[in-house]
Chain A
Amino acid sequence: MASGPRPNPLSAARAAVGLGFCAALAGAALALDHPVAILGVIVAIVAVGSLAGRARLLARTALFSLPLAITVGLVNALTSRQGDTVVARLGSLPVIGRLDITAESLSYSGVLILRVEAIVLAAALFSACVDADALLRLLRRRSSRFGLSVGLAARLAPLLARDGKRMAAARRTLAPSVAAPRSAIVEALATGALDRAVDTAAALELRGLGDGPCLAPAEKRRWSRHDRAMALSASVIAILSAVSLAAGWSLFSVGSTIRAADGLAPWIVAALIPLIAVSPMLDRRGVAR
């Protein structure tokens, strides 16, 4: 995290609740199939992130993750055997067989792209707004070494981001004839990651993490209004996703043809999820210390 989020109920809630809230949103993206419902999940994440002052970070994350999402969609379109409406014939490959692209597989690729984006955004919301220190504390209670590994991974990302920024700044001060290409910076960052990881692991060891069994004291504090509200919101989102899945309210399946839930059901689900996610974020009492 380059800088902290604006004080908000999600950050004020305990780490386990924050984790549960973000997991419920990611779970909804996995459980719901209808693109309109998944779009509803994305709207919910962006709205919560915006209220926490992290809209720009989420937008950047969405942009960076787009190539990954499109790759997943393309692979699905090329390898899927479902659908009767062929829109392109790309020949055949020895092991894979025929590479026919159908309108049905393309539609499902769109769903997959939305789903990947929603899950990445839920993870970004978690890393931007939930207290990583408190979560690390939770994990250390389970296993000291696991805590060390998670601490290392959590610390490494911002360190490498900072190194990359400084290398880019240094590059900008050089004359074009001596400035290394951007790819050299990426390569230097990748090769330097091991050194950084060793430094960070050394710092964690020097702080005593990983020294024998973990005995971090359990946190004993009463549930705050934000803990309760965020947990309730997460629970309702999880229940709504499960019920939608069971009742077929957000059905979108591809066989020889596309079968999608008709009527208002997917639209209602898409509208409800942002409302349920955002409602606890509107109570800003006591969010700032």
Chain B
Amino acid sequence: MSNLLSISGFSYRHPEASSPSLRDVNIEIEAGEFVLLTGPSGSGKSTLIRAACGLAPAFDGGTAAGELHVGGLSARDFGPGEIARCCGTVLQDPERQVVMTTVRAELALPLESRGLSATAVARTVEETALLLGLGELLDRNVSQLSGGELQRVSLGAALGPRPPLLLLDEPVSQLDPVAADDLGWLLRRLNEELGVAVLVAEQRLERLLPAADRVIALIEGRVACDASPVEFLEWAASTAPALQTPIGEMFHAAGLPAPPPTLKAARAELSRRGLLNGGTKPNQSAEPVGASSKSGSRWRRSKAEPAAIEFKSIWDERSNGRTILEGVSLRVEPGEAIAVMGRNGAGKSTLLAHGAGIRKPTRGSISSLGRVALLLQDPSYYLVRDRVGDLGPAEMLEAAGLANLADRHPRDLSGGERQRLALALVAESPDGQLPAALLLDEPTTGLDPARRKALADRLDQFRDGGCAIIVATHDAEFAAEVCSRVVLLGEGRVLADAPVREVLAGGWHFATETARVLDGLGGALLPDEGAALLRVESNREVRQ
């Protein structure tokens, strides 16, 4: 069999599920191909990756039908351990995949398991570490690594035995923009230089689309599109708008044909049409054409009045000598929404923990107008009962629109429902009073565009009620949509604290895709703003 991955008429149903997660899937992946697998939440992407590496149904249970071969091994006859000889797998949550104590041991484990000599193990560990920039981390304890570092370690462990096929499930969902870009380049390099075939399940395609040979879209467990990136973008614009990239959305809204998949080509296309020559840079324009008016706070008051929440020069110094936060000062008014951005390990989550009172600063103080609510990244940590109805009073569930879920087990809810439930638990109170401030840690991880929009709408309702919002996020699009200000943290210090347009329209890593393709033109951050700008430029071009 020449195909590395051959899936034919494959269907899979999770245990006790009422309908199959995968239906009659047919996919062939050849050596050296780079394939993106996309689709809305619950469309079956992760299930397909787990089936391809042998975990479903061997570990997950359930029933499967059809044929699935990896490197010529049938998933019917071989388990994940044997299939792992043909493919390396990186699953979504890096914390659940790291099994050894040190990075060196983690990288060595799959090599030793295959019986390599001590010399070969040592050489390969060293080479893998060099390839992935893990040299400094080799002797570190895995419990001391950030999410991004753990993701790279998992990738290294998967790559070490030099598999011809690499399977990745949403590998950039926990990474900061810089690390996500780095991972995209790395996968491209592995594919182009080492000839490793790559299958990546991802909801946000923009960073990986330039490297892809094909894009496969799954909708309700079926392959809805299997085409080149350009054809996929055309298909998405006409058939599945929710799967468009921000640039595709902008081109579509501006009445332009589907864009080429790379930023460079998209920019060249706009230049060719004469649409990138006018306009103003972000610092020259307060508000771009078509921008929704997003004032800082709808409850703006003078500085003399108390803020909804204020961090006054707070320090977090650990007993091991590390300083996580260095004199961070931040004032958020009632009804104001700000985004805290920065690299993995910059101190964003720690800042929120201080705001919610989970940690106490070693120096400095925090004051607030009232209750401060914190929604942690993984909502399941709040859902510790067997029944949704036991988690809170019925009025609270009613207010959050979740009363119909009262008899379900929290584990059986979708990701979006779990997050809504956790948000209701932390933010709603039986008397209907909103918290003075609501802090959210990476709330968009794993959410598809429809669920992100629903969350943004919910946060707008909190803002309208006078609640201050602080969102720690890597998601520049979400920050641009919800927030009026961005605080950029680096090494525990505030590097920038400025209006959202000033930070996100002029940058490269910390920028929205729209701003990246328009190079900050007119301060446009979101696809509809970019489209409005392009329409103005287009009209100007016609008049000339």
Contacts and interface: CB of A to CB of B under 8 A. Distances in A.
Interface of A: 1-4, 131-134, 136-137, 140, 144, 151, 155, 158-159, 162-163, 166-167, 169-175, 177-178, 180, 184-185, 187-188, 191, 196, 198-212, 214-220, 289
B461 to A, nearest CB: 19
B74 to A, nearest CB: 16
Q: Tell me if B's interface is mostly helix, strand, loop or mixed.
A: loop
Nearest to B383: A188
A167 B384 contact: yes
A206 B376 CA distance: 29
Which 3 pairs show the lowest CB-CB distances between chains A and B? Answer: A215-B115, A211-B81, A133-B105
B396 interface: yes
B46 to A, nearest CB: 13
Interface of B: 53-55, 59, 79-82, 84-85, 89, 91, 95-102, 105, 109-110, 112-118, 121, 139, 141, 143-144, 157-158, 161, 320, 353, 356-358, 371, 373-374, 376, 378, 381-382, 384-386, 391-393, 396, 425-426, 429-430
Nearest to A187: B384
B380 to A, nearest CB: 9
Contacts of A155: 99-100
Contacts of B99: 151, 155, 200, 203-204, 207
A200 B96 contact: yes
B432 to A, nearest CB: 13
17 contacts: A3-B141, A3-B143, A131-B102, A132-B101, A151-B100, A163-B381, A170-B376, A171-B384, A172-B356, A173-B374, A177-B393, A177-B429, A180-B384, A207-B110, A209-B113, A211-B85, A289-B139
Contact of B81 (A131, A171, A208): A208
**Most interface-central of B89, B115, B357 (chain A CB within 10 A):** B115
Q: Tell me if A's interface is mostly helix, strand, loop or mixed.
A: helix
A289 to B, nearest CB: 6
Given A133-B101, A133-B105, A184-B384, A174 B426 contact: yes
Nearest to B139: A289
Contacts of B374: 173
A208 B426 contact: no
A210 B81 contact: yes
B370 to A, nearest CB: 12
B171 to A, nearest CB: 15
Contacts of A217: 112, 115-118, 121
Given A133-B102, A178-B393, A187-B384, A172 B358 contact: yes
B203 to A, nearest CB: 22
A209 B84 CA distance: 10
Given A180-B391, A206-B53, A211-B113, A169 B385 contact: no
A208 B84 contact: yes
Contacts of B356: 172-173
Given A133-B100, A177-B392, A211-B85, 19 more contacts: A1-B143, A3-B141, A4-B141, A4-B144, A132-B101, A133-B101, A137-B112, A159-B96, A169-B376, A174-B425, A174-B426, A177-B393, A178-B396, A204-B99, A205-B55, A206-B158, A208-B161, A215-B114, A289-B139
